[in-house]
Chain A
Amino acid sequence: MEAAALDGVTLEIRTGEIVAIIGPTGSGKSTLIQHFNGLLRPTAGEVRIAGCDLWGPRADRRRARQQIGLVFQFPEYQLFEDTVRKDVAFGPRNLGLPADEIASRVEEALRQAGLDPERFGDRSPFTLSGGEMRRVALAGVLAMKPRALVLDEPTAGLDPRGKEELLDRIAALHRGGMTLVFVTHSMDEAAQLARRVVVMHSGRVMADGSPREIFAREDALRGIGLALPQAARLVRLLRSRGMPVGDALTIAQARAAIMAAVREMRRGAH
């Protein structure tokens, strides 16, 4: 009954990139990202962080776990302390940092996650809303000061506002220079946030490129149960009805493309 969860995956993530990993359920996305910080050991092949083989003789996997921050799916289920501050401090405490350093990291991480330390710090994480809990969990990883952040379906199960707030935080982190990799089932999030999209299918990398390149291959995506972003579907539909709309992947692009098309049609009518 054993099968290779990943097979022949070659992938390089460079500093400062923001990469979305998409693919149908069971395509190996979650398995792949658990290799990034050494939680899973590949049966064959290598994982290198800044050139160092993660499973080589002189590897420091503790350090790897600090450098590559991994936020699991539904991370709020891993909260366990009685206050938000203590829970966020768990990571830095495990790193053996002095108390004042831990305190300042907790403050900073909470702010990065969009939570006011004054307001949330002393509350129990279990009294917060779903979106807030998830951002506490995000802060818990940010407090380790990772060089790269890897998130597994960060917005799954959140309400629209929770989603938006979290995506804002992710975008802000990337603007601040953080390398980001996120797994998502939302083509819209991939199109909106990522500069590079990796498509996984049956444990392999099926495609790897810019959102524009990836979402140009509608048939290939449909073939494995994926779809186009809403905005791309809208402009395609309009085009099929005879409206001269250009390509778009995000809502903003679609808006611009439709406005341009409307202006052009008006000019044509005159």
Chain B
Amino acid sequence: MELTRYITVGQYLPRGSPLHRLDPRTKILATTALMVTLFLIPSFGGLGLLAAGLLALLVLGQIPLGYALRGLRPIAVLLLLTVFLNTFFGGGEGGRVLFQAGPLVATEEGFRRALFVGSRFILLVTAATLLTFVTSPVELTDGLEWLLRPFRRVGVPAHELAMMMSIALRFIPTLLEETEKIMKAQMARGAEFGQGSVIRRARAFVPVLVPLLISAFRRSEELALAMEARCYRGGEGRTRMKELRWRVADLVAGACVAAAAALLIGLR
């Protein structure tokens, strides 16, 4: 019943490790590079190496592995579905037939492809989670805003986007806590969750979602008011308490990631 223990995506774990101390721009760029690499890696071997690399980064960032794994739990269903669909409809033909039921045929090749896509998916989520584990929401916003700045000329509201993202991240734990509270209150009135057919389960969440939405709107109104009361009026002329500054460590980290990416893509 404690949702905050299960959903770890988007959480920040303050640790003060070398990863935490890197410039957020470095970390965002490196994560993006890793994600792109992930889609360019052609073989299982490459994925394995990247997984080992991510593992090393988790250790370096002093993130408990169990905690990082828990972050994968909410996407388990999506993951299974991905593997299932890719096995049967991924278009991988040839090889031994492993399983056949009517029009559904699973070949060895199809299954391999499905596993490949599934592993890629896991690594993708892990990389994104690692970024938020070691980067505080404020840093993340600052970094993102800086990276989006060149696009302002073509009408991208860099500051507003960054602010929206940081507020969203900030409210994940709050809304989870709220959900938990509302669920308990409805359980006290005899509501049951996670029982019966899919439709029944979905319907059981109406008494949770309605109050949750109402409270989210109320919170957003209060937050907007509190920001206005402190003279917030967008990014124009806004200065920051912590200026972003590139350091040697960022250069080294960037170079390492670039080299690793090139190596992994090149590797057959």
Contacts and interface: CB of A to CB of B under 8 A. Distances in A.
Interface of A: 34, 37, 39-40, 62, 65-66, 69-72, 75, 77-80, 90-91, 94-95, 126, 140-141, 144
Contacts, number: 55
A-B complex: 7 closest residue pairs judged by Cβ atoms: A94-B190, A80-B210, A91-B189, A70-B188, A78-B185, A72-B185, A80-B207
A39 B192 CA distance: 12
A232 to B, nearest CB: 34
Contacts of B211: 77-80
A62 B191 CA distance: 9
Interface of B: 1, 181-182, 184-192, 206-207, 210-211, 214-215
A121 to B, nearest CB: 18
B190 A75 contact: no
Nearest to A69: B188
Given A70-B188, A72-B185, 19 more contacts: A37-B188, A39-B187, A65-B189, A65-B190, A69-B188, A72-B181, A72-B184, A75-B185, A77-B215, A78-B185, A78-B211, A79-B211, A80-B211, A90-B186, A90-B189, A90-B190, A94-B189, A94-B190, A126-B214
Nearest to B2: A40
Contacts of A37: 188
A70 B214 CA distance: 22
Tell which of A65, A95, A144 has the most Cβ of chain B within 10 Å: A65
A65 B184 contact: no
A22 B184 CA distance: 22
Nearest to A62: B190
A217 B43 CA distance: 74
Contacts of B214: 77, 126
Given A77-B182, A79-B211, A80-B211, A140 B189 contact: yes
Contacts of B181: 72
B160 to A, nearest CB: 29
Contacts of A141: 188-189
A93 to B, nearest CB: 8
B140 to A, nearest CB: 23
Contacts of B187: 39, 65
Contacts of B189: 65, 90-91, 94, 140-141, 144
Contacts of A66: 190
